[in-house]
Amino acid sequence: MKKLLVAAAVSTTLLAPLAAHAQKVGLAMAELDTFLTLLKNGTLDAAKKSGATVQVEDAQADVGKQLSQIQNFIAQKVDAIIVNPVDTDVTPKITKMVTDAKIPLVYVNRKPVDFAKLPAGVAFVASDETVSGTLQTQQVCKLLKGKGDVLVLMGDLSNEAARTRTQDIEDVVKTKECSGLKIADKREGKWSRTNGQDLTTNWLSSGVKFDAIIANNDEMALGAINALKASKKWTPASIVAGIDATPDALASMKAGDLKVTVFQNAAGQGAGAVESALKLIKKQPVDRFVNVPFELVTPENLSKYSGKN
């Protein structure tokens, strides 16, 4: 009888390494606004398909909270960490913390300030922000036939995306084709629909003259549209542009309101982050920058994008 028990124990021990180890990934989100919720869901869907488990933490736009959440992931010895940083200027600290713990690290959606110095075992998955604001502003320039005054609603300037998208707008205005455009004013709306509405209301009440509003994201663009409507300044010809092609933005475009957005593939970024993390866990090569391309969305090609984000 004892011999049988020993044999059973040995066979179980031999079989144990053959059981697949489900990879555990820590996902540190800056916050869960409309777009970032889509990104989180895309990450979870991709992980489920690959058999990995994901623990999600929401920093609620608090840098200190996010650093603490990442430290907890390290203490738990997760297999990889995906970070959507609250403040991209803090990424050198995050990179050091995670790489010192020898855990693969993937930044997603927001470009780390230390991107050029990222060591092996660290990747960045996103869409190239030099394209987003460029596509958006070129389309606004086309709608205005190359001349007019524009107002700019900027995202949270602690984020590289907000700074780059705003620079894109300024760069397009400097081109020969769009040199007739003038930036009348620009304000930081921190990605928020409420802020976009309040800032636009302030512009309207102060009598600023403008021909279009270019927002760094859809939420602020929708806020601007709300303000124009509430102030009875909205006409079917009003030009407001956003970025992300969120469901609300696409619905607004379908209704004839939002004139321009740029599709940023939230699910694609989430899936790319998971794929990169799993490759890094297996010590497989991953490009430092994994690009998920931006695409211009207008009323003419809108049907192609319905239900994508």
Q: What is the pLDDT of residues 246-280, one digit of tens each?
A: 999 999 999 999 999 999 999 999 999 999 999 99
Q: What pLDDT score does 257 carry?
A: 98
User: What's the pLDDT tens digit per position in 221-234?
Assistant: 999 999 999 999 99
Residue 308 has pLDDT above 80, yes or no: no
Residue 15 has pLDDT above 70, yes or no: no
Q: What pLDDT score does 22 carry?
A: 85
Q: How confident is the model at residue 306 (pLDDT cuts 50, 70, 90)?
A: confident
Tell me the whole-structure pTM to 2 decimals: 0.81
Q: What pLDDT score does 13 carry?
A: 35
Residue 41 has pLDDT above 90, yes or no: yes
How far, in Å, CA of 139 to CA of 210, rounded? 16
What count of other Cβ atoms lies within 10 Å of the Cβ of residue 76? 10
Q: What pLDDT score does 166 carry?
A: 98
User: What's the pLDDT tens digit per position in 84-105?
Assistant: 999 999 999 999 999 999 999 9
Q: What pLDDT score does 11 carry?
A: 33
Mean pLDDT, to the nearest integer, of 144-164? Answer: 96
Q: Which amino acid is at 117?
A: K
Residues 6 or more apart from 201 whose CB is under 8 A from it? 227, 230, 231
In angstroms, how far is CA 5 from the centroid of its own chain?
A: 56
Taking CA atoms, 272 is separated from 52, 124, 263, 266, in Å, by: 14, 9, 16, 10
Quick one: which of 225, 267, 271, 210 has its CA closest to 244?
Answer: 267
Residue 6 has pLDDT above 70, yes or no: no
Mean pLDDT, to the nearest integer, of 13-32? Answer: 71
Structure tokens at 177: 């084709």
Q: Do residues 158 and 89 make contact, with C-beta atoms less than 8 angstroms apart? A: yes
**Backbone CA torsion sign across 224, 225, 230, 236:** positive
Mean pLDDT, to the nearest integer, of 148-174? Answer: 96
Structure tokens at 100: 């010192």
User: What's the pLDDT tens digit per position in 113-136?
Assistant: 999 999 999 999 999 999 999 999
